[in-house]
């Protein structure tokens, strides 16, 4: 594929065009997602306050445990649809890992923004709400309308980010 034929992504943007803040942090969340060890969906999250990164996380097994890349995916084996039976997954979600990272290092995140490569599930929505996240910027759909309803009820601003160059 010639360079001119490549899709416009974070790595390929018109020369001289500086990314806006949402694009910048979403680009970083996409890079974080590349560390994911999930076989079904690679997700990255970045928690930001006052345009400074406070924490990041990607989805995967808890530290020190075997990853799904090694053990296989129980949800896949049981043909569990997306958005259901989260307890069957051995991994943590990207948003959960970012929040845990902030807690481990004593980083205050109340009032911050969470950039995430996919719409959060209801479990992550509840955790983000209680952590005091004021805004969630995500891209891509996820079949969990209850998460969206909870964010709305809690007054968390939601932005379904759409790339555009």
Report residue 35 as tokens. Answer: 């560390």
Q: Which of 76, 87, 95, 153 is catalytic?
A: 95
Among 161, 90, 74, 164, which Cα is nearest to 119's?
Answer: 161
61 C-beta neighbours (distance < 10 Å), count: 18
The angle that helices 122-131 and 145-154 make with each other, rounded to 10 degrees, is 20
Q: Decide if 87 is catalytic.
A: no
DSSP string, 20-64: PHHHHHHHHHHHHHTT---SS---EEEEEETTEEEEEEE-BPPTT
- The rounded distance, in Å, linking the Cα atoms of 138 and 121 is 11
| 93 annotated to a ligand binding site | yes
95 C-beta neighbours (distance < 10 Å), count: 29
- The rounded distance, in Å, linking the Cα atoms of 62 and 60 is 7
Active-site annotation, residues = 95
Which residue numbers belong to the known binding site for Zn(2+)? 93, 121, 124
Which residue numbers belong to the known binding site? 93, 121, 124
């Amino acid at each position: 594929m010639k360079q001119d034929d490549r899709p416009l992504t974070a790595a390929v943007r018109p020369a001289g065009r500086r990314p806006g803040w949402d694009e910048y942090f979403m680009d970083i969340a996409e890079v974080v997602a590349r560390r994911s060890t999930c076989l079904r969906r690679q997700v990255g999250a970045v928690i930001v306050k006052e345009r400074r990164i406070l924490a990041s996380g990607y989805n995967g097994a808890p530290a020190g445990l075997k990853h799904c890349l090694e053990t296989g995916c129980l949800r896949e084996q049981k043909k569990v649809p997306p958005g259901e039976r989260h307890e069957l997954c051995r991994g943590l979600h990207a948003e959960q890992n970012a929040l845990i990272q902030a807690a481990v290092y004593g980083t205050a995140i109340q009032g911050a923004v969470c950039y995430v490569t996919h719409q959060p599930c209801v479990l992550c929505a509840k955790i983000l709400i209680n952590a005091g996240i004021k805004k969630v910027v995500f891209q891509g759909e996820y079949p969990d309308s209850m998460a969206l309803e909870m964010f709305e009820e809690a007054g968390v601003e939601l932005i379904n980010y759409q790339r555009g160059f």
